[in-house]
Structures are given as C-alpha cells and as structure tokens.
Amino acid sequence: MMDTSDTPFPVRRALKKLGADLREARKKRRIPMKLAAERGSISRTTLTKIEHGEEGVSLGAYAKMIFVLGMIDRLAALLDPMHDQLGLGLEAEHLPKRIRMPRPKKKDA
C-alpha cells in the first residue's frame, strides 16, 4: 500500500471526488463494474480503487475509465493553456516591449 501521509489534503479530496464522479457516471450509464473494467482493460480491483479515489492508481487507468465513459475530451482539455488564467497573466507580464528583427547575414565577396 502506498504511503499517503505526505499527500496534501486537497489532492486526496480531489481524487475522492473524481472517483465518486466516475462511479456515478458509470452507474448512470448502467455499465456494470465487470463490463467497465473489461472495456478499460483493467481489473475490477483497479476499478474499485479508482472509484474510491486511491492515489496509487496510475493516471493511465483513470484515463481508460474516462474514455470508457465517453468523456476523454474533458480530460484532454483539463490543463489547456488557453484556460490557464494565472499562466496567461504571468506570460503577459514578461512579453518583450520591443521585438527586433534579426539582421541579414552578409555574404562574403
């Protein structure tokens, strides 16, 4: 079992919510655990760990289940740089005030 004592509480809480949301989405689609696990090429044990939000499960396993539920596009857009307001703001602060064109190289005569 993985040591979770150094995992920040917000991370644990987010994983628990993600797992619960995946479980609810699976149930709303009326997909049994066995079938969901087969479609995701994971074991039922791993699916149970995902649905409980255990942090020792690979991101790939979470991604497979998101794909099985038909929501992979949401995962792909999760950290889209165009939606990163903090990153965009910091980048804007460091834009150069003036951009110079490179000088053309002189040909030797």
Domain 9-69 indexed as CATH 1.10.260.40: yes
* Digit-coded pLDDT (tens) for 6-47: 899 999 999 999 999 999 999 999 999 999 999 999 999 999
**And the tokens for 11?**
């991370």
The answer to whether 13 and 23 are in contact (CB under 8 A) is: no
* Digit-coded pLDDT (tens) for 68-102: 999 999 998 888 888 888 888 888 777 777 777 88
pTM value?
0.74
For the chain, the straight-line distance linking the first and the last C-alpha, in angstroms and rounded, comes to: 72
What is residue 3's predicted lDDT score, i.e. its pLDDT?
Answer: 64
Residue 4 pLDDT greater than 70, yes or no: no
